[in-house]
Every structure is written in structure tokens, then in C-alpha cells.
Amino acid sequence: MSRAAIVGAGPAGFYAAEQLLAAGDAVDLYDALPTPFGLVRAGVAPDHPKIKSVTRIYEKTAARDDFRFFGNVEVGADVSREELLARYDAIVYAVGTALDNRMGVPGEDRPGSVPATEFVAWYNGHPGFADRQFDLSADRAVVVGNGNVAIDVARMLVLGDDELAPTDTADHALDSFAGSGVREVVILGRRGPAQASFTNPELRELGELQRADVAVDPAALDAVTGTEDLTPTAQRNVEILREYAQREPSGKSHRIVLLFLRSPLEVAGDGENGAVAGLRVSVNELDAGGRPVPTEREELIPCGLVVRAIGYRGRPIAGVPFDATRGLIPNDGGRVTGPDGEPLPGEYAVGWVKRGPSGVIGTNKKDAAETTARLVEDRDAGRLNRPSEESSPDAIEAWLRERVPGVVSWGGWQRIDAYEAAAGKTAGRTRRKVVRIPEMLTLAEAEGESEWPPIATTRA
């Protein structure tokens, strides 16, 4: 039996853990946060609780023998890659893509121009962003991007307080959304309707919002003359967009506008450091290959908030090979490769940091199967890493707890979880998230409800 350290407790990490445990290996799952589940907890929109229910599967994995969770441990900072290699037969990197792509236009760093990664983490209660402030006073926001994250951000900006109140949206975000002045959200895409990356359910959901109409310019669909060359998802997206284009406004208080064939040129504002006042865009045409080509026409979209959701990239881990151009860990089918392109013994990648930010949560299961098959193949062929330090379970835990005060076990997470669920039930919500690490660590050590400390919140 080999012992693997999986770095990152999101869907990719849990699917890899499940498969390695089934193959007879032992797994220690590390995460930089005291809480598991990655983007299921900190990325999935709060009004999509059914999607978050996938954590029940991960909880079954965590209940397996030979599984351990070490939360509040950042690999590359608290412990090094080399220290893990000294104690484990294999390391599986499942750290995702935490950084956003930039538009690369003047004014992108103005106040009010923000990455979706931070905005999403903020309203989902990620401890690293709990104290961020976003100015939602403007009446129009522009979300740049044509994927599901762009739709999630737009939807969150127009949901009513009664729609958000039952969810696990962070308390600080609930207060900000309640006082928001945003009445219109423009979702901006540089290509056409047929090239958008929305999934059908996400796009269809926009048409069911309680207090927001959805608008599409019929002219945007004129260039889509046929659907025979489109994927089934793209064909259905075009059909949904045609239906939106034919709708008459119903007089709702808010509106989402899907605007295609526009590329950002400049985030406009007053002076070099002034807040966002608008987004200057080029009007595009598609060439024969479906690529956007700017015309001589430009437009200025007045707005006070610009959120970019145009793709994501990984963050390098000290000592781990990294492709800075693609923002990924270089790999061959999941085997991490060195500068010479050869696999490094005992090192693997899975999930978005392996293949890029694509697919839905379930896509990671198949992706993990490819990586874990390589690991098991290498295990059986004697090609894994050879630990140089004492690698018994007890020795690893003793070393780790000496190195990193505040390591959170699975039992510690369960205590945090119980507190959040109880606090949510009292408030008539799915849960109320604890958003600061010191409070999480206090809860993780509590023996029961009698020891639960008062946790700072902003809502009753």
C-alpha cells in the first residue's frame, strides 16, 4: 500500500482520494483552508444548493479507512513540496486555478474594476476575501465573459433579498446586496451567441428570475444562419437566446442584457486613478473561422462596476514545475513533467490545474480517473517516489502538528460544519458561514455546543 498526499480538497482532490482509496492506497488530503470542498463551498453560487449537495459524496469518502484531512495547511508556505516528498510515496496536486486572467486594457486596475474570482469568493464567505468591499452603488454593472461564472455573477447582482436570505451567502455580502443600487447588468462577450460557453441550464435560468427581465438584441442572432455545425449545447443556447430576443419587457425592476460581439478596449474613468465610469468597447465581426475581428466602430457603456470573468489560471507552488504561459502544472496524462518533459517520480496533477478551467464538477471525476490510473500503474511498476523520512501515519501527523499549529482534522471540520448548520437553522437558512480563520480554529477545537464561542456576524 502506498500513501499519497493530495493537495487541494475540492472536487478534483476528493475524486482522486475516492479512487486511490478504492485501489488500496492511503490518502492524506491537505487544504490551505480549515474547510474542505474548494469551489463547491467558495465558488458555486449560493442560490444553487442542489449543486452543493455533491459534498455528501465527499463525506462518504472522508469516512473511509486510511483517509485523513489536514486543513489550514498551505503547501508551499507552511510545508514544502520537498518535505512532502520526504514522507509520501506520491503527491497529487489538485489546487485548481485560483487566479484570474486579465483583459490587458488601460484602466483595468481602477477602483470598481474587479476579477470575478474575488467577487465570487467574497459573496461565498472565503476567509481571504471576507473583508473586501465592493461598491455596488452604480445602477449598471458590466460582467465581461461568456461562461457560467459570468452568469452567476450577473444573477447574484439582481437577486432579491428574499431570494438570497435563505441561502448560505455570507452575511457581509447579504448586507451589501440589500443596499445595492445595481439595476442593470450587461454580460459582455467578444464573440457571437453561437460561440458562448454557457451551459443550457445556466442560460435558461436567467429567463426565470423573479425581478429581472433578460434582453437580447435580435440583430445579434442574424449572423447565426444555421446550427448544423454547432454542438448540441451551442444549438440549444442559440434557441434560448432567440426566445429571449422575442420577449417583450415585463416591467420588472431589474434587467440583464446579453451583449455579443464586443471586446473591451478601456475601463474609463476620471483621471488615472479615478473610479470606473464606463467600459469602452470595440464592435466586432466574426471571420470565417468564427474569430472576433474588431471593426472601426466603438461604443462606451456607462457603468460603475466591471467584473472580468474571462478565464482562470493556476498559482505556482514553490518547487513544483509550472507552465507560466498556460497557468498550469505541466503534465502528461496527469504525470507531472520536469523541464526535460520527463515524468517526475511520484508527482501528479488533477483537475483544473492539470487541464485548465473547463467542464462542470462531475468532469473532474473522469479527469481524476485518468490521473489515478497513472499513479496506480506507477505504484505497481515500482516507479513512485521513495520517502527518506519516517512515513508512518503517526510520524507524519506528529511532524505536521509540530510544524503547523492549528491543523484542522476532519473532526474539526465537522465541528465547524455543525456550528454553521445550527446557526443557519436558527436563522431559517441553509447555513451561516464562519468567514474568519481564527474563529474557525476555535470551533474546530470545541468539544460540543456548550463550548461554541460567540461568532461575529452582521445579521441577526
Beta sheet of 331-332, edge-to-edge order: 67-70, 26-30, 3-7, 90-93, 343-349, 335-337, 331-332
Residue 460's pLDDT is what? 43
Mean pLDDT along residues 80-89: 97
Which CATH number goes with the domain that contains 179?
3.50.50.60
Give the C-alpha separation, 95 to 174, whole Å.
28
Alpha carbons within 13 angstroms on the beta-carbon side of residue 130 total 17
User: What is the reported pLDDT for 122?
Assistant: 98
- Quick one: which H or E segment has residue 312? strand 312-313
Specify if 141 maps to a domain. Answer: yes
Give the cell for residue 375.
499513479
Rounded CA gap, 93 and 334, in Å?
A: 9
How sure is the predictor about 243, in pLDDT bands with cuts at 50, 70 and 90? very high
Taking only the tens place, the pLDDT of each residue in 360-377 is 899 999 999 999 999 999
For residue 2, what pLDDT is reported? 94
CA–CA dist 376, 321 (Å, integer): 22
Same-domain status, 320 and 271 = no
358, pLDDT greater than 90: no
pLDDT tens-place string over residues 307-355: 999 999 999 999 999 999 999 999 999 999 999 999 999 999 999 999 9
Domain shared by 319 and 275, yes or no: no
Same domain, 43 and 107: no
Distance CA 6, CA 104 (A): 34
Neighbouring-strand partners of residue 216 = 258
Helix (H, G, I), strand (E, B) or coil at 250: coil
**Domain membership flag for residue 32:** yes
191 and 300: one domain? yes
Out of 310, 325, 350, a domain closes at 310
Beta-strand ranges (E) seen in 19-58 are 26-30
Judged by average pLDDT, the poorest of 64-68, 181-185, 216-220, 452-456 is 452-456
**What are the φ and ψ backbone dihedral angles of 15, each rounded to 5 degrees?**
-65, -40
Structure-block grid coordinates of residue 168: 448560505
Q: Give CA separation, 25 vs 17, 21, 120, 265, 379, in Å.
A: 9, 5, 35, 52, 10
Residue 92's closest CA among 1, 7, 2, 3?
Answer: 7
Grid cell 488615472 — which residue? 272
Fill in the amino acid letter for 154.
Answer: A
Same domain, 391 and 347: yes
Is the per-residue pLDDT at 159 higher than 80? yes
- Letter for the amino acid at 345? P
| Statement to judge: residues 38 and 172 lie in one domain | no
**Phi, psi angles (nearest 5°) of residue 381:** -95, 5
Q: How many domains does the chain have?
A: 2
Q: Could you tell me if residue 445 is inside a domain?
A: no
Q: Mean per-residue pLDDT for 65-94? A: 97
Average pLDDT over residues 110-122: 97
Which among 310, 344, 374 is the end of a domain? 310
- Residue 415: inside a domain: no
- State pLDDT tens for residues 23-74: 999 999 999 999 999 999 999 999 999 999 999 999 999 999 999 999 999 9
223 confidence band (pLDDT: 50, 70, 90): confident
Structural domain includes residue 440:
no
Percent of the chain with pLDDT over 70: 96
Question: In this structure, are 300 and 322 located in the same domain?
Answer: no
DSSP-assigned beta bridge partners for residue 305 = 141
CB-based contacts of 340, cutoff 8 Å, min separation 6: none
Band the pLDDT of 457: cuts 50, 70, 90: low
Does residue 48 belong to any structural domain of this protein?
A: yes
Output the CA–CA distances (angstroms, integers) from residue 86 to 26, 89, 399, 421, 438, in the order listed.
Answer: 16, 8, 12, 39, 30
**Are residues 221 and 161 part of one domain?**
yes
The whole domain housing 372 covers 3-98+314-408
Compute the distance between CA of residue 44 and CA of residue 155 in angstroms, rounded to an integer: 12
Reduced to 3 states, what is the DSSP secondary structure of residue 60?
helix
What gap in Å lies between CA 34 and CA 204, rounded to an integer? 35
Nearest CA to 90 among 318, 321, 371? 371
Instruction: For residue 141, give the C-alpha cell.
Output: 454593472
Contact 53, 292 (CB under 8 A): no
SS3 content of the chain, % helix, strand, coil (to 5): 35, 20, 45
For residue 456, the model assigns a pLDDT of 57
- Round to whole Å and give the CA distance between 385 and 87: 9
Cα(349)–Cα(369) distance, rounded to whole angstroms?
A: 11
Is the Cβ–Cβ distance between 81 and 329 less than 8 Å?
no
pLDDT of residue 74: 97
- Specify whether 136 is located in the same domain as 115: yes
pTM of the shown model: 0.94
Pair type for strands 113-115 and 305-308: parallel
Pick from 250, 283, 310: which residue ends a domain? 310
pLDDT tens-digit profile of 398-453? 999 999 999 999 999 999 999 999 999 999 999 999 999 999 999 999 866 666 66
- On whether residue 221 sits in a domain, the answer given is yes
Q: Using an 8 Å Cβ cutoff, are 142 and 305 in contact?
A: yes
Place of cell 444553487: 48
89 and 107, same domain (yes or no): no
The angle formed by the CA atoms of residues 424, 430 and 432, to the nearest 5 degrees, is 40
Local structure of residue 328 (DSSP, 8 states): B
Residue 31 has a pLDDT of: 98
- What integer pLDDT is reported at residue 228 of this predicted model? 61
Cα separations in angstroms, 237 against 44, 214, 288, 455: 21, 14, 21, 44
Q: Is residue 451 part of a domain?
A: no
Percent of the chain with pLDDT over 90: 90
Q: How many CA atoms lie within 13 A of 204 on its CB side?
A: 8
d(CA 137, CA 122): 17
- In this structure, the answer to whether residues 216 and 137 fall within a common structural domain is yes
Burial of 289 (0-12, 13-18, 19+ CB in 10 A): exposed
CA 440 to chain centre: 21
Report the chain's mean pLDDT, rounded to a whole number: 94
pLDDT value, residue 37:
97
CB 184 within 8 A of CB 277: no
Regarding whether 148 and 62 lie in a shared domain, the answer is no
Q: What is the CATH number of the domain that holds 395?
A: 3.40.50.720
